[in-house]
Chain A
């Protein structure tokens, strides 16, 4: 059983995540016809999604503690996330009703939608005055793990639903100008929003994948 301890430090996270991922069997040498079992793929995917959600939670808490105190962001931060346009199930009934292939595609879309924002997030956090290392390191890690999760999900989709390739649909993120605003308050609020959305979406993906894993691998009997 893979356990994640109380992940407090980025090093701990990295080690835990890396170890847990590394413990899974991998296709040796990337052979063409390598067929990693679906179970392993899902296990790895769930580990990655859990890891990403942990990182984003911590990153958000760090940012909240450091920059958002006393600014009243919370009441304002009910802005929409750029991934809201993707019609994802919003509760358990809806998630159970959706077909797992569609759900997988939705997961892929969400993951793709975050490629660009994560890249810019890292760049902008680096450029921040006194760039906090706790936030920057986590942003970098999330960006990398997100790419790995995307690859894994594409593999899963290839195994679960082979043959059908949909167009790469994803939500376009247009929040870059707000991250680069001159007004510090506005800029910080944009960051807060982005991190809030990241935490939410990472939780969503994590949940979907756990649901799919139980459904597909364990036949709804985890």
Chain B
């Protein structure tokens, strides 16, 4: 209970204090403002913190002290005038006022100081409001809507501006009667100022206030001046002239559309070209785009070949003759003029050289590998090396050389194939004097047969024309598969024994066989058959014979066999005919019957075109 009583008392006391505090912030008299209106007098006001009627009034006193000539008068003097400035105020007239002198005032209540303040008079200057506001009409706008006025006033009477003792600046504010926000103008030093652009149909209020220059505090506002502008009923103008934007836009669009249509559909091509220039399309001189569309690549090639710096991608039959290079160390070989000559020459040495291909694995992909050959001869991988090509040769071992009646002395052909020539084409030898070579023919046929027998599947892939993709240095021609070897199939059946015999040797379809093997196979074949196949042997079927085989049949000069240039796709096929020994080329036995003439030079390569010409 005691605790509750204590709390209650404290609460009451607190509320009392709060109550009294809210009235006058702690219940004590306090200075509110000291102000000098003209820099000559000043007055101070305070709040009477005492409840009216509750206490004795007048117990509050103001005392002041000021410093004069560096010495504080130690006495506090009492306020000289409590009345002039109103209640709870003290007025200091000019005799008590010194400018630029520090003052301190204090408020006492019942002897106790309740408030104290120090200041200088120049710091508390707040002028009185200006008086005598009036306005005059300056002009009216041409539209009769706006007008300018000039507002004048007088400075506050107690400010001695004439002598320059105080300099005032003024701020004017105006607004429409029914508005709430005053518009302020910049302070001016003069006592008149123009106000522009007031609307004639509105009423305005104007007021002015002043402050000492360099001070921050403004004095009170003057009385409000009401500006009633003359109503002009003469002009019934619109509110505002507005451009007929809508009409302008409509007409503009219409005009643009008209112009657009005129240009677009105009017959005048010139204008059309100017407005809408045609888009350039890609075009090559001399080439009809239709050619490309129809796929006539030959014509395109021809045309393109005309252009400078054009390297015919496709096999150009005519270029075979020129482009075969022998990659042989033998200087004699190189000394020869053209590859064709080499191919067709009766230089046995060379042929031997060619045929005696080294059995070194130069790393080039074998074009003679059956798996490779069966696949498309692509540029990079295939026919890079004759090593694999050589492998079957190796398998045959020295039997190849035996065929040549020589050992593998010169395997120069093989490894030198690839870099020498970049042309996949095998230039078949021009017409030379093919000596009949029965063996050749036999070989060819049988080889064809064996080829067919051994690799029926591969044969199936061989078309009428086989594309020679490369020529090994050994003289073998690497062909790309893809054509059926029709003629050879029939032969397969005849000689199964040969198949078994030859199969091991004939690993590839368009392979080149060692003539020894060929001979083995061929020997079994009856002559008749051989002969019967002789003709087809000259057909341009795909029987590709190795260089060795070629050399056995004919002393070929170095065929420009080289590793097939895998880079160049060879769409066209060359058929190699073993025309004659020793310089004949073994050509496809399954080829179409060729005229039995010496259309091939010695073991040279005949281009497909040539073969075609030769054929009936």
Using a CB–CB cutoff of 8 Å, the interface residues on chain A facing chain B are 1, 3-6, 50, 53-54, 57, 74-75, 78, 80, 84-85, 87-88, 90-93, 95-96, 200-201, 203-204, 206-207, 210-215, 218, 220-222
Contact = CB atoms under 8 A, between A and B. Distances in A.
A89 B540 CA distance: 136
Interface in B187-215: 187-190, 213-214
A214 B102 contact: no
Contacts of A5: 186-187
A70 to B, nearest CB: 17
Nearest to B72: A78
Contact of B122 (A1, A80, A200): A200
B77 to A, nearest CB: 16
Given A95-B165, A203-B100, 17 more contacts: A53-B214, A74-B118, A78-B72, A78-B102, A78-B104, A78-B118, A88-B100, A90-B98, A91-B99, A92-B160, A92-B165, A200-B122, A206-B214, A210-B164, A214-B164, A218-B164, A221-B162
B181 interface: no
A206 B214 CA distance: 10
A220 B162 contact: yes
Given A78-B104, A214-B163, A93 B94 contact: yes
A75 B99 contact: no
A122 B189 CA distance: 33
Contacts, number: 84
Contacts of A214: 162-164
Nearest to B71: A80
A156 B99 CA distance: 25
Top 6 closest A-B pairs, CB basis? A214-B164, A78-B102, A90-B98, A210-B164, A80-B70, A222-B164
A91 B97 contact: yes
A50 B67 CA distance: 26
B116 interface: yes
Contact of A92 (B94, B102, B169): B94
Given A75-B118, A200-B122, A90 B101 contact: yes
A50 to B, nearest CB: 7
Q: SS class of chain A's interface: helix, strand, loop or mixed?
A: helix
Contacts of A90: 98-101
Given A50-B214, A84-B69, A211-B164, A200 B100 contact: yes
Interface string B169-196: 1000000000000000011111000000
B166 to A, nearest CB: 8
Contacts of A75: 116, 118
Nearest to B102: A78
Contacts of A203: 100, 122, 214
B570 interface: no
B390 interface: no
Give the most central of A78, A207, A218, A220: most B CB within 10 Å: A78
Contacts of B40: 91-92
27 contacts: A1-B189, A1-B190, A4-B213, A5-B186, A6-B187, A50-B214, A78-B67, A78-B102, A78-B118, A80-B70, A87-B69, A90-B101, A91-B97, A91-B98, A91-B99, A92-B40, A92-B163, A201-B100, A204-B99, A207-B122, A210-B167, A211-B164, A211-B165, A212-B164, A214-B162, A221-B162, A222-B163
Interface in B137-172: 160-165, 167, 169
A206 B125 CA distance: 15
